[in-house]
Amino acid sequence: MTATLDLHTTTAPPRPQALRPAAARGRRPLAYGPPRVATPTIHVATPELQLSSKPAALVLRTARLAGPVFRDDAADRTGLSTSTVNRQVGALLKAGLIRERADLTPAGAIGRPRLPFELNVTDFLTVGIHIGYKVTSITTHDLGHRVVGAIQIPTPVAATPEETLTAIGQSARRFAGRWTGRRILWAGVALGGRVASGGFVDHPKLGWTGAPVGRIIAETVGVPVSVASHVEAMAAAELVANPDQNKASFLYFYAREMVGIAFSVDGTVHTPSAGPPVIGHFPTGATTLLDPDRTGRLEQTVSDTGVVEAARALGLAVTDAEGLHELARGGDPTARAILEERAEVLGRTVALIADIFNPDHIVLGGQAFTDFPATLPTVAKALAATSVVADRDVRVSHSGTTVQQQAAGAVSLDAIYADPLEAVTFTA
């Protein structure tokens, strides 16, 4: 995966004052403490979300996926010359990103090339932040993309995006501070909306226009930051987990509170300059139980909020999607019928979009698919009945219910996986 550095500055740019009404979601505004003290230099990167071909990145990826590994085996796996591998191993060892395993040296072996090396998963962490409409997750990750720790907080409501982001950044800094003795290399933010160069975000659902996400998170957490659209980040997390499929294409379809898609081909998640594709307005066709207001729009119909509203309109006493799932698991026929209809609408929509992109694989992600897996056969049946292509390869994301965490982790590791030796120079 590669990243481009957008911003090196010692002077914070003017802050756009796009207002977000504090009462928009019915919660009280936050109270804030002393003003934030800005770091001397901030670094905000726009990740390109692709598998990097730089020599250091190839060697680091080999250590992550195959370590402990010998240098000659690494040369075979990467296609690099042995001398190039030796140089990259030496530089990565000096940076501390990999470590040698003298205890695994074959008996009678002479010289360092017979010392296997592996990823250093004990000394470094990254911080992942997924900002959702209602809930924000904060995670720490080791260099292998594994979640080391995780918390969830309600997405703060404040008068301005800056105040909301400051509160999130302060929570992330406190959480990361629990791991004393481990160096925080980078932070990654994944969220809905359109991400512009420099980490500025337009997020209509949160009421943000030009919100300086990258700058404020960099200032409050105190490390370099990458910012990406969350569905594209989820697709990137699939690449991190399955880099051997870099020659295949896949369509990533996400559904929870928002719906969205991303497309990956040849190891690169396509990121349109105009922003991620918008599919929330897609027509759903006729529904029986869902969409009581008859909007006919996908997001209002299948989102968590949408299915809860449909349940309440039918007299079910639920306040969130999990409550609906519990009723369905307990045998409530109305709850089960609502979730089955949601699965059918999602299956039809996935089929229509897949027929446009014609990918090698389809990956389904988000709690609309994973929180109630009993409806997955309905998704598959509706998809097969709608698509013009028989026997499409459809799979559920490996991340399951942790998809938001894995997406934020992929963004936090993007710069390191892209060019590890350059990335470590941007953090103390």
Model confidence pLDDT, tens digit, residues 121-161: 999 999 999 999 889 999 999 999 999 999 999 999 999 99
**DSSP strand pairing (361-365 vs 249-255):** parallel
408: exposed, middle or buried (Cβ count in 10 Å: 0-12, 13-18, 19+): buried
Residue 39: pLDDT over 80: no
pLDDT surpasses 60 at 21:
no
Q: Which long-range contacts (CB under 8 A, 24 or more apart) does 146-151 make?
A: 146/121, 147/402, 147/405, 147/406, 147/409, 148/179, 149/175, 149/178, 149/179, 150/402, 150/405, 151/175
Percent of residues, the chain, with pLDDT higher than 70: 88
Q: Which of 6-10, 193-197, 255-259, 405-409 shows the lowest mean pLDDT across its residues?
A: 6-10
User: Does pLDDT of 84 surpass 50?
Assistant: yes
**Of the listed ranges 327-341, 342-356, 388-402, the one predicted with least confidence:** 388-402
d(CA 52, CA 58): 7
Q: In the predicted model, is pLDDT for residue 355 greater than 50?
A: yes
Half-sphere exposure of 402 (CA within 13 A, CB side): 20
CB of 141 within 8 A of CB of 128? Answer: yes
Confidence tier at 269 by pLDDT (50, 70, 90): very high
Confirm if 186 and 412 have CB atoms less than 8 A apart: yes
Q: Is the pLDDT of residue 273 over 80?
A: no
Q: What is the mean pLDDT of residues 206-213?
A: 95
Tens-place pLDDT, residues 239-262 = 998 887 677 899 999 999 999 999
- How much is the pLDDT for 103? 84
Tokens (6 digits) for 42: 């901030």
- Only one residue has tokens 């160096």, namely 183
Residue 373, burial from CB neighbour count under 10 angstroms (0-12, 13-18, 19+):
exposed
User: Please, which pLDDT band fits residue 24 given cuts at 50, 70 and 90?
Assistant: very low
Name the band, by pLDDT with cuts 50, 70 and 90, for residue 91: very high
Q: Would you place residue 96 in the very low, low, confident or very high pLDDT band (cuts 50, 70, 90)?
A: very high
d(CA 76, CA 62): 10
Cis peptide before 156 (omega within 30 of 0): no
DSSP H stretches of helix in 267-332: 298-302, 304-313, 321-329
Q: Is pLDDT at 179 greater than 50 in this prediction?
A: yes
In angstroms, the Cα distances linking 46 to 40, 137, 199, 209, 229 are 20, 20, 7, 18, 10
Collapse the DSSP code of 263 into the 3-class scheme (helix H, G, I; strand E, B; otherwise coil) and give the result: strand
Report the C-alpha gap between 180 and 168 in whole angstroms.
Answer: 20
What is the C-alpha radius of gyration for the chain, rounded to an integer number of angstroms? 23
SS3 sequence, 322-371? HHHHHHHHCCCHHHHHHHHHHHHHHHHHHHHHHHHHCCCEEEEECHHHHC
CA pair distance 417, 236, nearest whole angstrom = 12
pLDDT band with cut points at 50, 70 and 90 for residue 15: very low
Domains of the chain: 3-22+39-50+122-236+404-426 (3.30.420.40), 55-119 (1.10.10.10), 243-397 (3.30.420.40)
Average pLDDT, the chain: 88
Q: Is 218 helix (H, G, I), strand (E, B) or coil?
A: helix
Percent of the chain's residues with pLDDT above 90: 77
pLDDT at 109: 55
Say if residues 344 and 378 touch (Cβ distance below 8 Å): yes
